[in-house]
């Protein structure tokens, strides 16, 4: 049988059409194509990282799932080395003005500013600010406040720190107000704080009210102080803090307006 006879035989058997590849042949062919693409992108480890980063970028652009998961995984008592596996290396590190053994580590993301308070390689405080982002397709970042049913940028300072009578404020270096309360046994007796800063967006009449609070405090006018703190506590919280050390460290960790703009 010559070549022409073989060709004619194949044509008869397939009705004049080339013989189709079997399932396993198609799978093998697709696998080879995939391997060629992967080889073009680099080795498997680099390719896996590339695909992971692309997926995360896609999810981040349309949801807050990545950010919610990242910050929810942070806990007081975590060791620094463990935490850095998920949040990486900070952009800025500052030594506390109150204790040289304590440092503040700042992580700036388009959606938030995270501050980890570190003492002897152990996380003793966490502060999270929700920032304005520039994605018009995405709602504001409203992370859950630990040990509560409340959300940043959705609930007020008073909602989060109900029955609190401890507050901190400033209107010169940066306009901010925060309240603190001690959690009970269910909150491991940690300190929970909530407040607002004006890093990116001014709060309506906040600076004026803070100025009035300053004068009322200096004059020891307790009635006016109470009235003004209630007014300030009615603002929506855009940051929370959780710590096992004194709340004044949270206040100390807040960047001035100049530092925020210079660093980020």
| Together in a domain, 81 and 37 | no
Cα 89 to Cα 58: distance, rounded to the nearest angstrom: 23
| Together in a domain, 195 and 89 | yes
| Together in a domain, 83 and 214 | yes
pLDDT in tens, 209-219: 999 999 999 99
| DSSP codes of every residue in 235-262 | SBP-EEEEESS-THHHHHHSPPHHHHHH
Per-residue DSSP letter, 55: H
106: left (phi over 0), alpha (psi -120 to 50) or beta: beta
The pLDDT, as a whole number, for residue 20 is 55
| Together in a domain, 104 and 210 | yes
- Band of residue 90 on the pLDDT scale cut at 50, 70, 90: very high
- Band of residue 109 on the pLDDT scale cut at 50, 70, 90: very high
- Band of residue 3 on the pLDDT scale cut at 50, 70, 90: very low
| Together in a domain, 163 and 253 | yes
| Together in a domain, 180 and 138 | yes
- Band of residue 122 on the pLDDT scale cut at 50, 70, 90: very high
| Together in a domain, 253 and 162 | yes
| Together in a domain, 115 and 173 | yes
Q: How far is CA 231 from the centre of its chain?
A: 28
Tokens matching residue 8: 């004619």
Tokens matching residue 175: 């306009």
pLDDT in tens, 147-171: 999 999 999 999 999 989 899 999 9
| Together in a domain, 36 and 97 | no
- Band of residue 14 on the pLDDT scale cut at 50, 70, 90: very low
The pLDDT, as a whole number, for residue 219 is 96
Structure pTM?
Answer: 0.77
| Together in a domain, 141 and 13 | no
| Together in a domain, 246 and 117 | yes
pLDDT in tens, 194-242: 999 988 777 888 999 999 999 999 999 999 999 999 999 999 999 999 9
| Together in a domain, 28 and 124 | no
pLDDT in tens, 129-147: 999 887 777 889 999 999 9
Domain assignment of residue 62, yes or no? no
H/E segment holding residue 181: strand 176-182
pLDDT in tens, 20-67: 556 656 656 766 666 666 666 566 556 555 555 554 555 555 678 888
Angle between helices 65-72 and 44-62 (to 10 degrees): 100
User: Residue 13 belongs to what domain range?
Assistant: 3-41
Domain assignment of residue 69, yes or no? no
Domain assignment of residue 22, yes or no? yes
**From residue 106, how far is each of 90, 145, 167, 216 by CA, in Å?**
5, 19, 23, 33
Return mean pLDDT, the chain: 85
Domain assignment of residue 79, yes or no? yes
Strand, coil or helix: 2 = coil
Query: Per the structure, how many domains does the chain have?
Result: 2
């Amino acid at each position: 049988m010559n070549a022409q006879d073989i060709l004619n035989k194949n044509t008869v058997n397939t009705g004049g059409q080339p013989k189709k590849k079997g399932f396993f042949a198609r799978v093998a062919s697709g696998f080879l194509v995939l391997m060629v693409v992967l080889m073009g992108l680099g080795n498997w480890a680099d390719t896996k990282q590339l695909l992971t980063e692309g997926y995360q970028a896609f999810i981040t652009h349309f949801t807050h799932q990545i950010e919610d998961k990242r910050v929810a995984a942070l806990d007081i008592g975590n060791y620094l080395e463990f935490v850095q596996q998920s949040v990486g290396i900070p952009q800025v590190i500052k030594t506390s003005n109150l204790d040289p053994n304590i440092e503040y580590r700042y992580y700036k993301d388009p959606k938030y500013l995270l501050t980890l308070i570190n003492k002897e390689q152990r996380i003793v405080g966490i502060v999270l600010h929700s920032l304005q982002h520039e994605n018009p397709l995405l709602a504001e970042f409203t992370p859950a406040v630990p040990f509560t049913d409340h959300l940043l940028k959705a609930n007020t300072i008073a909602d989060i720190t109900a029955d609190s009578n401890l507050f901190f404020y400033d209107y010169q270096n940066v306009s901010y107000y925060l309240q603190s309360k001690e959690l009970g046994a269910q909150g491991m007796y940690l300190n929970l704080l909530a407040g607002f800063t004006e890093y990116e967006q001014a709060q309506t009449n906040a600076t004026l009210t803070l100025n009035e609070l300053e004068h009322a405090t200096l004059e020891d006018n307790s009635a006016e102080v109470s009235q003004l703190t209630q007014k300030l506590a009615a603002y929506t919280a855009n940051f929370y803090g959780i710590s096992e050390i004194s709340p004044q460290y949270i206040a100390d960790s807040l960047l001035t307006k100049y530092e925020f703009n210079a660093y980020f």
